[in-house]
């Protein structure tokens, strides 16, 4: 890692500690929000792959007291002292997940966030395939959970299967934009898709 990259990593790491966020990734969501305004006051937000909870903290700020954030991960997430946050420990592959989430949200969500990530091996192609599989799992959750005209924000890895993933996502949304937040490390293959205008089940539309 170059000295510039190391400084960047340390900057966001230290900033998170100073400002009380659980991860440096919190600033990626802040930068996404500042550019695209994906989360609005009073929204219901589901945060997939939420541990340790940096994105949940940021989403909680944006939805306000009357909004709600449901934070999901198969890893344990330390409780939040936030009245508008619910925490759920559950695996994305569990078929019961959408029903459990709906019981917690009280209805369809306005926004689904996914910062899901697997273990990085260093094999660029393999890591991209694994990440894009997680995107597909998150998209399946959207089909059960996201309101029509809702928003889906997901992390993807650039790789040989990215075009296939694009083709899978595009029919479901009015608009898809790609964005690499400034907080992303230069060597990382990750970027985020900002998918807006969810169309619901297009086969029944």
Sketch out the chain's domains with CATH numbers: 27-198 (3.40.50.150)
How many residues are recorded in the chain?
A: 205
**Mean pLDDT computed over 26-50:** 97
In the set 35, 155, 170, 187, the catalytic residue is 155
- Would the pLDDT of 1 be above 80? no
Share of the chain above pLDDT 90, in %: 73
Q: At residue 5, does pLDDT exceed 80?
A: no
More confident residue, 127 or 67: 67
Cis peptide before 52 (omega within 30 of 0): yes
Q: Which residue has the tokens 């400002």?
A: 19
Dihedral sign for Cα atoms in the order 49, 41, 97, 167 = negative
Closest CA to 89 of 52, 35, 138: 52
Compute the half-sphere exposure of residue 45: CA atoms within 13 Å on the CB side of its CA. 31
Q: From 167, 172, 197, 151, select the one nearest 37 (Cα to Cα).
A: 151
Q: Is 155 part of the annotated catalytic residue set?
A: yes
Please report the pLDDT score of residue 119 as a whole number.
63
Q: Concatenated DSSP letters for 115-132?
A: -------S-HHHHHHHHH
- Count CA within 13 A, CB hemisphere, residue 178: 10
């Amino acid at each position: 890692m170059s000295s510039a990259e190391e400084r960047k990593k340390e900057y966001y790491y230290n900033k998170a500690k100073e400002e009380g966020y659980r991860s440096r990734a919190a600033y990626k969501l802040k930068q996404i929000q500042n550019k695209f305004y994906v989360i609005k006051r009073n929204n219901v937000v589901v945060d997939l792959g939420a541990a340790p909870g940096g994105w949940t903290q940021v989403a909680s700020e944006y939805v306000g007291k009357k909004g709600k954030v449901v934070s999901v991960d198969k890893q344990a997430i330390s409780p939040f002292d936030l009245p508008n946050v619910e925490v759920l420990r559950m695996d994305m592959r569990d078929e019961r997940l959408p029903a459990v989430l709906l019981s917690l949200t009280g209805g369809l969500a306005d926004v689904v966030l996914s910062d899901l990530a697997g273990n990085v091996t260093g094999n660029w192609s393999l890591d991209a395939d694994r990440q894009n599989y997680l995107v597909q799992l998150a998209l399946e959750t959207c089909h059960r959970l996201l309101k029509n005209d809702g928003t889906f924000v997901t992390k993807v890895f650039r790789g040989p299967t990215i075009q296939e993933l694009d083709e899978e996502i595009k029919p479901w949304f009015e608009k898809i934009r790609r964005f690499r937040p400034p907080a992303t490390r230069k060597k990382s293959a990750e970027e985020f898709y900002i998918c807006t205008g969810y169309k619901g089940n297009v086969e029944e539309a």
